[in-house]
Amino acid sequence: MSQIDDAIETLNGLDTWMQWSVGFAATFLTVVIVRFLLDKILLDFVKKTSFDWDDKLYDPVTKRIYLFILITGTLFTMRWVLGEDHSLIESSDPMFQAAFILLSTSLVSVSLKVMIPVVMDRFSEPSSVTVSGSNSLIIFLFRAGVWFGGLYLAFSELGIELLGVLASLAVFSLIIGLAMQQTLGNIVNSFMLALDQPFEVGDRIEVEGKMGSVVSVGILSTKILTHEENLVVIPNNSLVNSTVINHARGGGDGVGRRISLVQDIGVGYSEDIDHVKYTILKLMRECPYVISKPEPRVLLIELGDFAKVFRMYGWVEDYTDEFVARDWLLKNLDEHFKREGIEIPYPTSVEIDGEVQPAMNQRRKKTSVRMARMQMIKEDKHLAKERAAAKDEIENINERLKAADLEKKERAMLEEDLRELNSLLSMFEAGGDD
């Protein structure tokens, strides 16, 4: 103990500048030691865990710990050098207390930002409908409440009544609020969009006759890029009060996702149904833009005034290729129909010259019709089995989703499968049963 007492006496006997230097050096050394211990012990532990939240918390928490040590070291150095009764200590003490309060508020705020989504995902009720996002507004309200309380306590330490300041600004705030009514409405509605998430960046949406891909969702407006490369800026107020059609869901990363490709085509009443369906179906399977799963289908949907109308169903992997895929299909359909002798009728006047189709073409067409009928019998049987299997699988998934002990990851996978199957069935039901 005598050695410690001697060291303390030696330090107390130093001149003022040396004491300041020793104090700041000790503070800096403490920061270095704490950082070394955190990186070697805590960081290794954080990296080994399977959780994501501790990785997100590590960096902001450690930075605030270092700042806390610096402020505390400065306060102790001032009290050691100047003494407890010094006027500078008395005048600066409330500022240090306010700094500690704000630092603690900041730590709680960043913890809420990371932990609220984790807690909500853990205790959310199981549902067959998944809404992405939905935590932004809740996080904002909680953090705003924490910061209001922290600022109130910090201002109280400085002798400032926060509520009084806010009351004195009430009239001014009312004037500003009325002047910025539209702007404030856009800001509030941006939180509503974040809560409901009707679309994400990368989705193709249609609003008030304007259709394009969402390129950004801002606090005041949402921007979409049309096919003509025009940037359309839609205020969030208008967006919330309008009907939004989401033609293709993206993934939140700006990458286009698949979209259904539906195209109607009419042929003459003299054409064989199986011949036409198989010709179109074979062509859709050859299209480089149409994916194989879900399988493309062709259904007879209407007996019109001038034609039998067939509807082509397919899926394009990237919805930015929709128009290229449609162009490819229509161009090749026209060529294949001419080759197969299939007529595309139009309500136009034509001159009949009395010529008949050559016998060779007639025989070739009859052969094509017979082959197409045999193939379509197989296709219809396959389609019936596929639809029955899809309905059975939907019933099976619905039963599995009723289980209360189902893990969240497995539930999400089942819900995704359910959406895929329902989408597949609805594509066929839109054209009716054949």
Strands 259-267 and 221-225: unpaired
According to DSSP, residue 41 is labeled I
Neighbours of 342 (CB within 10 A): 22
**Residues 259 and 204: beta-carbon distance below 8 Å:** yes
pLDDT of the residue at 131: 36
pLDDT of the residue at 81: 78
- The DSSP code sequence of 275-298 is HHHHHHHHHHHH-TTB-SSSPPEE
Distance, CA of 152 to CA of 75 (rounded, Å): 23
The region that residue 207 occupies, defined by phi over 0 for left and psi between -120 and 50 for alpha, beta otherwise, is beta
Our CA dihedral for 36, 40, 41, 43, rounded to 10 degrees, sits at 100
Angle of helix 53-82 relative to helix 16-37, nearest 10 degrees, comes to: 160
Distance, CA of 271 to CA of 343 (rounded, Å): 7
Closest CA to 271 of 281, 263, 262, 279: 279
**Residues 122 and 94: beta-carbon distance below 8 Å:** no
Do 259-348+358-429 and 186-248 have the same topology in CATH? Answer: no
Assigned token pair, 180: 């910025």
Longest dimension (CA), the chain: 128
Assigned token pair, 72: 């505390």
Q: What is the pLDDT along the chain (434 residues), one digit of tens a residue?
A: 566 666 666 766 677 788 788 888 888 899 888 888 888 888 778 777 777 777 788 888 888 888 998 988 888 888 877 777 777 777 888 888 888 888 889 888 888 888 877 776 665 544 333 333 345 667 777 888 888 888 888 888 887 776 666 665 555 566 555 555 677 777 777 777 777 778 877 778 888 888 888 888 877 888 888 877 788 888 888 888 888 888 766 544 444 567 778 889 999 888 888 888 988 998 998 888 888 877 888 888 888 888 899 998 888 887 778 888 889 999 998 888 888 888 888 765 445 454 545 554 666 666 676 676 677 677 667 666 777 777 778 778 877 777 766 777 777 777 777 776 666 666 555 444 43
Which CATH code, of 2.40.160.20, 3.30.70.100, 2.40.30.20, 1.10.10.10, is assigned to 259-348+358-429? 3.30.70.100
Delimit the domains of the chain by residue range.
Answer: 2-168, 186-248, 259-348+358-429
**Residues 257 and 321: beta-carbon distance below 8 Å:** no
User: What is the sign of the dihedral through the CA atoms of 90, 94, 99 and 103?
Assistant: positive
CATH code for the part of the protein at 186-248 = 2.30.30.60
CA Rg value for the chain: 35
Assigned token pair, 237: 């107020």
Distance, CA of 326 to CA of 321 (rounded, Å): 9
pLDDT of the residue at 310: 92
Q: 316 — phi, psi (to 5°)? A: -100, 130
pLDDT of the residue at 162: 65
Length of the chain: 434
11, 61, 66, 94, 344 from 72: Cα distances, Å: 19, 16, 10, 13, 86
Distance, CA of 322 to CA of 247 (rounded, Å): 12
Strand partners, 231: 225
**Residues 296 and 314: beta-carbon distance below 8 Å:** yes
